[in-house]
Amino acid sequence: MANHQSSEKRIRQTATRNVRNRYYAKTTRNAVKKLRNTTEKAVAVELLPKVSAMLDKLAKKNVIHDNKASNLKSKLALYVNKL
């Protein structure tokens, strides 16, 4: 167990960040799934910038890796262009 005040605070901060990061990551994953399950091009074109922005924000905050965000954005763009 932590003995220092700073380490106890660090534990509290980490727990809060974990909950927040899990929420944003799950929300983004659901948005990606929703875009992938879309069969109408107009809806997909409308969703793509929003999902891309969500992925960029996660990468910026180091919730996911930059390359993972880029790979997902690339695959989603290819999917939308194929529709």
Q: Are 32 and 56 in contact (CB under 8 A)?
A: no
Q: Are 35 and 51 in contact (CB under 8 A)?
A: yes
How far apart are the C-alpha atoms of 62 and 21, rounded to whole Å?
9
Q: Are 53 and 32 in contact (CB under 8 A)?
A: no
Per-residue pLDDT at 1 exceeds 90: no
Per-residue pLDDT at 70 exceeds 80: yes
Name the nearest CA neighbour of 61 among 26, 29, 30, 17: 17
Q: Are 46 and 5 in contact (CB under 8 A)?
A: no
**Residue 2: pLDDT band by 50, 70, 90 thresholds?**
confident
pLDDT in tens, 3-59: 899 999 999 999 999 999 999 999 999 999 999 999 999 999 999 999 999 999 999
pLDDT at 81: 95
The predicted model scores a pTM of: 0.85
pLDDT at 28: 97
